[in-house]
């Protein structure tokens, strides 16, 4: 597997390899295919060419995550008695908003609308580089190159772990950014003075 990933990485980096061999390997190992797609996405993000397809997938994955979510949306406060959690009708009365449309449907649409802004972390300003661990493009070596697994095996593993952590961090940061945008919409105030 580690060898396959190395091949894959080199292939994405544009090195001379038989694409046929890679495709055959991809077809045989679904997890490798996933890795392929992830590497490609990371590469695209680093080259700043996140494609519309990626954005669409992103919205899809938000929708999918929503689908998988339990329907309890308003988190029960710790102090609340358990009985209320078990009474869905009452909850619906308290927050009819969730019952009628579902916050998450709207959230996904806000995310789709805002994804361009959200994805664009400024990774180009070198002075604040260490502040932006999000899909960082410049490896410690100091030259720009897509993530690759040319390094010795154990550090490759470490690098993959770090990459995973970065992706997880970015996902969490994006969740906060999207929620901020959503809350602005949901909680903007009706305080315009109407002319007399």
Interface positions with another protein (CB under 8 A): 62, 65-66, 69, 73-75, 77, 79, 94-97, 100-101, 103-109, 111-113, 116-118, 120-122, 128, 131-134, 165, 168-169, 171-180, 182-195
Give the residue with the Cβ less far from another protein, 54 or 121. Answer: 121
CA dihedral 97, 180, 120, 101 (to 10 degrees): 0
| CB-CB contact of 145 with 52 (8 Å) | no
Cβ at position 182, least distance to another protein in Å: 8
| Residue in the structure block whose two tokens are 């994804």 | 115
Return the number of the residue (16 or 67) whose C-beta is nearest another protein: 67
Q: Supply the minimum distance, in Å, between the C-beta of residue 32 and another protein.
A: 26
**Would you say 167 and 154 are in contact if contact means Cβ atoms under 8 Å apart?**
no
Q: How far is the CB of 88 from another protein (least distance, A)?
A: 15
Q: Which is nearer to another protein, 40 or 109 (CB)?
A: 109
Least separation in angstroms between residue 56's CB and another protein is: 10
Cβ proximity to another protein: between 30 and 75 the closer is 75
Instruction: Please state, in angstroms and rounded to a whole number, the distance separating the CA atoms of residues 161 and 167.
Output: 10
Residue 112: phi and psi, rounded to 5, are -65, -40
The count of other CB atoms within 10 Å of the CB of residue 142 is 6
């Amino acid at each position: 597997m580690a060898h396959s990933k190395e091949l894959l990485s080199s292939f994405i980096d544009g090195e001379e390899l038989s694409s046929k061999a890679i495709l055959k390997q991809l077809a045989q190992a679904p997890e490798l295919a996933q890795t392929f797609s992830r590497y490609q996405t990371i590469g695209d993000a680093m080259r700043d060419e996140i494609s519309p397809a990626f954005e669409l997938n992103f919205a899809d994955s938000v929708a999918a995550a929503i689908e998988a979510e339990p329907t309890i949306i308003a988190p029960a406060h710790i102090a609340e008695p358990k009985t209320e959690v078990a009474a869905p009708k009452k909850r619906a009365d308290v927050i009819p908003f969730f019952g009628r449309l579902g916050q998450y449907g709207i959230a996904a649409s806000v995310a789709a609308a805002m994804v361009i802004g959200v994805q664009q972390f400024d990774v180009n300003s070198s002075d604040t580089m260490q502040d932006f661990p999000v899909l960082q493009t410049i490896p410690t070596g100091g030259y720009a190159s897509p993530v690759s697994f040319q390094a010795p095996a154990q550090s490759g593993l470490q690098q993959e772990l770090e990459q995973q952590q970065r992706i997880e961090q970015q996902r969490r940061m994006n969740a906060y950014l999207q929620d901020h945008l959503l809350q602005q919409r949901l909680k903007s105030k009706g305080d315009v003075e109407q002319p007399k």
